Amino acid sequence: MPNVLESLVHQKKLIVTLVDSDKNSPTSTETKKIDRLEKVVKDNNWKLSFVYSSPCREVENFIPLNTLLNLPCGHACGANEVFLNLEKQEEGTRETLYMFFDLKLGWDGVGEKMTDEERKWIKSKLALAGKLDGMPVPGYGEKIIKQIKADGAHITTLRQHLVQRSWSDLFLSFFEGLWWYFIAAPQIRT
């Protein structure tokens, strides 16, 4: 991705780069990917290039839970119980497990590549949901976005869920900070 950004910076156009934060918890540090992108912007001294990371783990975490549950991958996924159990308990907080959970791959019960703090946070959330320590939680697979795009009914459901207060409380301020960029100039998506 830094190579794509570098080639676009040389065109001297308005550039907004949106990347997954890859955070495992609200206290996780930014990944090196974001540092590399910000370095490209700084090294090229282009003031109209901006790098933003999502407030959640990945783009899939923007999808409301109710939308995910209606997808083929969500019909019988073992993670449903965890998120439904936590829904009321986490209401009103910005630190939900759903925002930082790896929805594609799930939780292996160990969290080997995580910091001690991240592992502790996830385990505390899973304990609230009734999961015993060390129990894995399955993910929804790699095709979450493709399943939404493949069916107009899923797109309609997504649109309906995106206007709900629970979603806007978590994400609206993030998107409000980005809208003017997309109004200001034509987009190149990579």
Tell me the DSSP string of 48-66: TEEEEE-SSSSGGGGS-HH
* Domain assignment of residue 91, yes or no: yes
Structure confidence at residue 14 (pLDDT): 82
Question: Does 52 map to a domain?
Answer: yes
Same domain, 44 and 103: no
Residues 132 and 105 in one domain: yes
- Contacting residues for 110 by C-beta, under 8 A, at least 6 apart: 134
Residue 190 lies in a domain: no
**Rounded average pLDDT over 186-190:** 63
- State the pLDDT confidence band at 66, using cuts at 50, 70 and 90: very high
Question: How does residue 190 score in pLDDT terms, banded at 50, 70 and 90?
Answer: low
**Domain-embedded: residue 12:** yes
Same domain for 102 and 28: no
Distance, CA of 33 to chain centre: 15
Which parts of the chain are beta strand (E)?
15-19, 49-53, 106-107, 137-138
Shared domain check, 136 and 78: yes
Number of domains in the chain: 2
Q: What is the pLDDT of residues 80-106, one digit of tens each?
A: 999 999 988 898 888 999 999 999 999
Report if residue 69 sits inside a domain.
yes
pTM of the shown model: 0.88
Contact 159, 148 (CB under 8 A): no
pLDDT at 187: 62
Q: Looking at the structure, do residues 149 and 137 belong to the same domain, yes or no?
A: yes
Whether residue 162 sits in one domain with residue 105: yes
Give residue-wise pLDDT tens across range 148-174.
999 999 999 999 999 999 899 899 999
- Indicate whether 83 and 105 sit together in one domain: yes
Q: Does one domain contain both 47 and 79?
A: no
- Domain limits for position 113: 60-169
Structure tokens at 84: 């439904």
Indicate if 39 and 122 belong to the same structural domain.
no
Mark whether 112 and 176 lie in a shared domain: no
What's residue 91's pLDDT?
A: 85
Task: Report if residue 189 sits inside a domain.
Answer: no
Contacts of 70 (CB under 8 A, 6+ apart): 154, 157
